[in-house]
Amino acid sequence: MQPTPKHHNGTRSIYLETFGCQMNELDSELVQDQLVALGFVFMDDRDRADVVLFNTCSVREQAENKVLSRVGELGIEKKNGREIVVGMLGCLPEREGQRLLGRFPQVDFICGPSELDRLPTLLNNAITGIVLKISERAALQGNRSRRSSTLSAAKDNLELLDLARAFNPDHRKTGGRSAYVRITRGCNKFCTYCVVPNTRGAEVHRPPDSIIEECQKLVESGAIEVTLLGQTVNHYRYTHGVALNSEGREVPQIGPGLTAFKKPLDNSQRITTFANLLQRIHDEVPKIQRLRFVTSYPRDFQDDILEVMRDCPRICNYLHVPAQSGSNRILQLMNRGYTVEEYLDFIDRARTIIPDVEIAGDIIVGFPTETDEDFMETESLIRTVRFKNNFVFSYSPRPSTVAIDRYMDDVPRETKLERVNHLLKVGGEISGEVHQTYEGKVVDVFVERISPKSERNNNGVELRWRESTVQLSGRTPGDLICVFDVYSKKEAHSLIGSIVPVTVIGSAPLLLKGILSRDNMAI
């Protein structure tokens, strides 16, 4: 498909802004690959772009408001005569549906996260200015993905987007050395507060061979760190031989459902579990120096996964496993499917099998009916687990979730805010102690970027660091952020995307400070 030429060199420029989670970041990367192949160029300047795309997040109202204010600004610019195409992608249009186009006439088209393969057509129609009905300017999944009664998700066109990935290091993180790979799409858990099962559809598991092939291509194009993505990665399970395309190639399949994890594995079928998948990637793609995964679900996280993590040196000892609450009553209202005791049992197992594992989590405060006692139980959970960090969110009632229909949002805003601040304070103290235990140790740091603080120094705004040095920032295998100084920008750029030893000489609640251990560096 050829976009209508506009500039003298026949290209059109796109500004793409991404909101929300890593899934969205990966979607944006795939969108960019797809559109670059069609002749579009991407630019960082929204004011000069011909097309503005927002890849949106719907998880909390605040995230939606942020993007809608951007859309409002573009509405004014369009009214003032700016010729521009505006598209909204991702979870917000999927949740809101076609009425979004009615509410915001400045938006030319909308595209849900499961329909991104249809984006080039929508974009081309908008550019050529064909007058279309609202329904023709919207690509949304609706409830389609939940209607399939077979295991095969062969009609899952999105798989083609992942498979057709350009493996272009330029737009990946850390100069192409770190990449995301999706292992599952969608979610079947229906936590009562969460929009994701509605916006991203039914849980679909990709074939292991496709995942490994993608990892292989990524390392060939320079990646040394791969992060596997899924809403509940430990529920990954692929049954071989039942979902094939006409050429006999395995295709994505619908997730097996929670009851599958209650029973022993069916030995009459060849099944790849999450533990098997991790082991295969580790062994078959040895150029991956760091293998990570997010997000883990506290339920059905069997020891075999922890044992593979322990035994495979290139799998990072890091788990992001949200507890959401420390009160069994609230966990039940949230439909999380585990108790506090089961969560703590999992943490115990993880620390017994992998003693140096670092654990991060998410907490929602102010879920309907949450009392001071419930909240104190959450604080107690945080103190018991000793997370390396915890993301604390204030409950945001979301349209089309069970919670918004069933429960009144009865915890006052101020109380929510107080609870968020209190947990951030307690979490910060614990996180500070966790970080302190690293002082004096040498850690391997995957260098990600010149730290923003250093950039500010060089502009003379803040002089905490010597001006002659540049500060780099990276992550340890346990996902702790570590900063250290090097002598010049040239040296800094040469280290970005590599793993270097750093001696930790100080710490803060969310930071290690260190010195590059030049004696231990492989030259």
Residues forming the site for ligand SAM (CB under 6 A): 21, 59-60, 193-194, 196, 231-232, 295, 297, 322, 324, 362, 364, 393, 395-396, 398
Closest contact distance (angstroms) between CB of 231 and ligand SF4 is 4
Q: Which is nearer to ligand SF4, 231 or 289 (CB)?
A: 231
Q: Which does 60 bind (CB under 5 to 8 A by kind): ligand SF4, ligand SAM, none?
A: ligand SAM
Q: Which does 253 bind (CB under 5 to 8 A by kind): ligand SAM, ligand SF4, none?
A: none
Q: Which of residues 173-192 bind ligand SF4 (CB under 6 A)?
A: 187, 189-191
Q: Which does 205 bind (CB under 5 to 8 A by kind): ligand SF4, ligand SAM, none?
A: none
- Tokens 């039914």 correspond to 202
Q: Which is nearer to ligand SF4, 233 or 445 (CB)?
A: 233
Closest contact distance (angstroms) between CB of 293 and ligand SF4 is 14
Decide if residue 194 touches ligand SF4 (CB under 6 A): yes
Q: Which is nearer to ligand SAM, 18 or 457 (CB)?
A: 18
Q: Which is nearer to ligand SAM, 242 or 258 (CB)?
A: 258
DSSP codes, 270-322? -EEEHHHHHHHHHHH-TT-SEEEEE---STT--HHHHHHHHH-TTB-SEEE--
Q: Which does 362 bind (CB under 5 to 8 A by kind): ligand SF4, ligand SAM, none?
A: ligand SAM
With a CB cutoff of 8 Å and minimum separation 6, the contacts of 239 are 151, 253, 256, 269, 270, 271
Give the total residue count for the chain.
Answer: 523
Closest contact distance (angstroms) between CB of 179 and ligand SF4 is 22
Closest contact distance (angstroms) between CB of 19 and ligand SF4 is 16
SS3 206: coil
Report the candidate in 64, 109, 60, 68 with the shortest Cα–Cα distance to residue 89: 109
Q: How far is CA 40 from CA 164, 361, 498, in A?
A: 17, 39, 31
Decide if residue 196 touches ligand SF4 (CB under 6 A): yes
Are residues 464 and 457 in contact, defined by beta-carbon separation less than 8 angstroms? yes
Report the candidate in 300, 295, 324 with the shortest Cα–Cα distance to residue 231: 295
Q: Which does 32 bind (CB under 5 to 8 A by kind): ligand SAM, ligand SF4, none?
A: none
Instruction: Look up residue 439 and give its DSSP letter.
Output: T
SS3 128: helix
Q: Which does 364 bind (CB under 5 to 8 A by kind): ligand SAM, ligand SF4, none?
A: ligand SAM
The DSSP H or E segment spanning 385 is helix 372-385
- Binding track, positions 27-66, relative to ligand SF4; x by CB under 6 A: ----------------------------------------
Phi, psi torsion values for 12, nearest 5 degrees: -120, 145
Closest contact distance (angstroms) between CB of 198 and ligand SF4 is 9
- Binding track, positions 283-322, relative to ligand SF4; x by CB under 6 A: --------------x-------------------------
Q: Which of residues 212-271 bind ligand SF4 (CB under 6 A)?
A: 231-232
According to DSSP, the residues that pair with 444 across neighbouring strands are 501
Q: Which is nearer to ligand SAM, 343 or 395 (CB)?
A: 395
Helix and strand element counts for the chain (H, E): 18, 22
SS3 39: coil
Residues in contact with ligand SF4, counted by CB under 6 A, come to a total of 10
Q: Which of residues 372-431 bind ligand SF4 (CB under 6 A)?
A: none
Would you say the C-alpha torsion 179, 183, 189, 194 has a positive or negative sign?
positive
Closest contact distance (angstroms) between CB of 340 and ligand SF4 is 17
Report the candidate in 185, 188, 186, 165 with the shortest Cα–Cα distance to residue 176: 165
Q: How far is CA 497 from CA 46, 169, 204, in A?
A: 28, 11, 32
With a CB cutoff of 8 Å and minimum separation 6, the contacts of 98 are 110, 134, 135, 138, 140
Q: Which does 338 bind (CB under 5 to 8 A by kind): ligand SAM, ligand SF4, none?
A: none
Closest contact distance (angstroms) between CB of 311 and ligand SAM is 26
Q: Which does 190 bind (CB under 5 to 8 A by kind): ligand SAM, ligand SF4, none?
A: ligand SF4
How many Cβ atoms are within 10 Å of 125's Cβ, its own excluded? 17
Residues at the contact surface with ligand SF4, assessed by CB under 6 A: 187, 189-191, 194, 196-197, 231-232, 297
